[in-house]
Amino acid sequence: MKLPLSNALFCLALSSMRCQGVHSEGTNLGGGIVTRTDVKYLADLTLDIKDMRTSYGNPAVVMDIYNNGRNSQQPSGLKFKLQDLGAEMSKNGITGATPLYLFQMYGLAEQSFNIETLADFYLYSNSNVRVAINSNQDHAPTASLVLDMWMYASHLLYAGVEMCQKMVEADNPAQFDLGGAGLDEFIALWIGTGESHAGSQGYGLYGLAEQAADLFENILDVSANKAIKNLYHEGSQYLSVGGACTKEVADSPKLLWSVANRIASQMYIPLIQMLIHSIQQKDADMTVLFANAIVPQAAQCRTSTYARLREHLLVGAPKFDKSDIILNDLQEIYSCFGLSCSDIGTYSGDDQGDDDDDSDSDDEDCLAGDAALAGYRPTSGVLSIAQIDLDILHLKILTSIGNFNYARFWYMYGRNSPVQRDSSYDLYTFYSIADHAVASSRKNAEETYSSFIEYFNDANYAGKIIMEALEGRGKWGSKSTEQRSAIITETSAFLVLYLHMIAQIDSAVNHCQGNLANDGDYDLTHPWDEVAALLVGSLEGTEQGGSVDGRDGQLIWSLNTRRGFQFQTLNSDGYSKINSDLIDALWAGRGEIDALDCKRFASTCENIKKLTLIPLLQSIIHYAMRNNDLDGASSKEELAFGETFALSVLPIINAVDVNSANVIAENMVYNDLKKPVSDGPQAVADAVGGAAVALGLKCSQLGSTVQADPCRLIKEESSGATSTGTLVIATMTGIATLCYSMALL
């Protein structure tokens, strides 16, 4: 990692306002770190860890240090104690928790969205440390370090960003105390008092990171500690700008958010390294300790991977006979944590181990920018684009348990999809759902984009829906947590990202045609690889057909998987026939690009756009069946899902079949004054079937269910839908609309 701009150059680049110097009351932590504010009491907490270690063998003394403290005295004069850390994090409850603490609760609760279940784990760190102390285990101080102090350090980081955001949005920011904006507080806990900065003899998290790094080789660029120190300096530069965290410098929270998330990624490194070391040494106690720190965090990644790690490491004794599977699964979560295999390095171990396997991190096994996406292998690095599906997943986790506060940060600023930087001098930010919701690149979708703008009469139609639900305003703002969550996540995936994908498809066609017209040397493959990334996402994995666990993916590909069985549209290999057709089309498009056969390529692109409509149309029918027995006062999330999937295609349908669009809107767009799906699921299915034909699909591609058959009124020939079929369904949907209108009289 390279150092960012110098302080003076940064201030010149970001604004013309003067920069503020380091405060004289700051704390010198050594190694070039002098904080802007006095955070010595936090640094001194590391000395309690030291005293716990030197008191090993006397559990009563160790417990007294843990409960009552020795070395850390707050400005108020009261002792700051290790046991206080868990209580501080839990005092705002789950809905006010900071992100990594929240993911820990979610993972410990086996991915439960039930707040009462999650609350059982509020004080997980205190409980684990006290058990270790009472059992006179020599790793009790390390338990407090990696469970208490590590998590509290992350808590401080995110709480600092939140305070900065509040100040930016406030008319009177002086009413808030920014302190060290979380950065000073974090770095004090991470480094601690008395750290040498030159070895692995320290007693804090910095010392643990040095100890872990000594066990690994081939680490990329710089160690976790060096990267964290660099990031601290970068964040301090943002805070040194005059007017930082006020309306004068409104980008402050976004930039601090970027720093906080990149620091969090580095924080995972020593925990992962020590877990790998413990597994290789077959040290059950230390394996369980570090697994308790890392595995619950994996709940924010692929569900199937988290479930295996939990089964192999936390259910009963560690299953060392499954070490190969465990290490592969750990590699799989690196990218979810913002890391690569080169960040972790290659395990070298020590002379005490009896395991001959000294290679845990083979770069060929790690998910890379050109790794296969459900069987399609891009030739350009698009992992960053594909990982936007992690933002959807994290929005789902946060909002499902009512934490709309940090979900708002995920939506506004992103977290998993870094923006490409042309040089180390460029600011480091993430692509966000909010950016995609208003991006000018949507206009590349041409007719589709125009249909959406015309239908909603609002260029920011999706962003408005999402922000109102996040902030408790508008149509869905006062509804149930489940309904607000459904609106936020599905609108993000199937209104925002879906249109973005369509825009990328049309952009790829324009690139091909532009290359022929200008005989230029364009990168034609990368735009096409981006289409694959937005279609599949990172969570499906690399195997042909994608993940077999329908809970993993978050985009169109996963939706096809979920609907394939229900609508009997699976292929002979057991996965969605539509996905099989999409993979064939992606490979065909690649060949047509290579051959500069832009005419056939354009046809392939049109086929993909049609195929991606199928799971959205199926989902309308699915939720028509689910919502048929509900009333307008229901708090069930299905009502929100039904509306969102309808709105994801209604503008497109309305442009070609107004009658079908009207039936779908009347039955699926939520109105708490009338019964949902008042015409019944079959009427909705009839309208969907007619719309499919009008959109150029064969109705049979939709499949059918026992409860509703979208093709019952459609007559198809082997070559495709006949005009007669279109006429029949158009007539029937018109009758259905008329009957509905008469019923209101």
Q: In this predicted structure, what is the pLDDT of residue 719? A: 41
Q: How far, in Å, CA of 214 to CA of 199, rounded? A: 9
- Looking at the fold, whether 162 and 271 belong to one and the same domain comes out as yes
pTM of the predicted model as reported, rounded to 2 decimal places? 0.91
Alpha-carbon distances, residue 191 vs 39, 145, 184, 741 (angstroms): 12, 12, 11, 70
Q: In this predicted structure, what is the pLDDT of residue 511? A: 87
**Cβ contact 558:582 at 8 Å:** no
Q: In this predicted structure, what is the pLDDT of residue 396? A: 98
Closest CA to 240 of 12, 48, 406: 12
Tokens for 126?
């205190």
Whether 249 maps to a domain, the answer reads yes
- Looking at the fold, whether 102 and 229 belong to one and the same domain comes out as yes
Whether 376 maps to a domain, the answer reads no
Whether 2 maps to a domain, the answer reads no
Give the pLDDT confidence of 550-568 residue by residue, as tens digits.
889 999 999 999 999 899 9
Give the pLDDT confidence of 357-382 residue by residue, as tens digits.
444 444 444 666 668 899 999 988 89
Give percent of the chain with pLDDT exceeding 90.
Answer: 79
- Looking at the fold, whether 281 and 393 belong to one and the same domain comes out as no
The alpha carbon of 82 is separated from its chain's Cα centroid by a whole number of angstroms, namely 31
Query: Which pLDDT band, with edges at 50, 70 and 90, does 739 fall under?
Result: very low
Give the pLDDT confidence of 529-545 residue by residue, as tens digits.
999 999 999 999 999 99
Give φ, ψ of 738 to 5 degrees: -65, -45
Whether 358 maps to a domain, the answer reads no
Give the pLDDT confidence of 436-476 residue by residue, as tens digits.
999 999 999 989 999 999 999 999 999 999 999 999 999 99
- Looking at the fold, whether 288 and 426 belong to one and the same domain comes out as no
Asked which of 236, 267, 294 is the last residue of a domain, the reply is 294
Tokens for 659?
């009658």
Whether 729 maps to a domain, the answer reads yes
Give percent of the chain with pLDDT exceeding 70.
Answer: 88
What average pLDDT does the chain have?
A: 89
Give me the long-range contacts of 469-478 (CB less than 8 A, separation at least 24). Answer: 470/399, 470/404, 470/407, 470/408, 470/411, 471/404, 471/408, 472/404, 475/670, 476/640
Closest CA to 376 of 538, 256, 226, 499: 538
HSE of 384, CA atoms in CB hemisphere, 13 A = 13
- Looking at the fold, whether 457 and 586 belong to one and the same domain comes out as yes
Whether 370 maps to a domain, the answer reads no
Asked which of 265, 294, 323 is the last residue of a domain, the reply is 294
| DSSP annotation of 217 | E
Tokens for 563?
């609907």
- Looking at the fold, whether 393 and 288 belong to one and the same domain comes out as no
Whether 150 maps to a domain, the answer reads yes
State the total domains in the chain: 2
pLDDT at 322 exceeding the cut of 50? yes
- Looking at the fold, whether 400 and 530 belong to one and the same domain comes out as yes
Whether 60 maps to a domain, the answer reads yes
Give the pLDDT confidence of 41-63 residue by residue, as tens digits.
999 999 999 999 999 999 999 99
Give the pLDDT confidence of 124-168 residue by residue, as tens digits.
999 999 999 999 999 999 999 999 999 999 999 999 999 999 999
Q: In this predicted structure, what is the pLDDT of residue 25? A: 81
pLDDT at 6 exceeding the cut of 50? no
Q: In this predicted structure, what is the pLDDT of residue 730? A: 40
Query: Which pLDDT band, with edges at 50, 70 and 90, does 220 fall under?
Result: low
Asked which of 234, 268, 294 is the last residue of a domain, the reply is 294
Structural domain including 130 reads 7-294
Per DSSP, helices labelled H in 401-496 are 404-413, 433-438, 447-456, 461-471, 474-477, 481-491
Mean pLDDT of 559-578: 91
Side chain identity at residue 217, one-letter code:
E
- Looking at the fold, whether 592 and 717 belong to one and the same domain comes out as yes
Q: How far, in Å, CA of 121 to CA of 583, rounded? A: 43
Give the pLDDT confidence of 486-529 residue by residue, as tens digits.
999 999 999 999 999 999 999 999 988 886 555 555 577 888 99
Buried-state track 254-288, b at ≥16 Cβ within 10 A, e below 16: bbbbbbbbbbbbbbbbbbbbbbbbbbbbebeebbb
pLDDT at 248 exceeding the cut of 50? yes
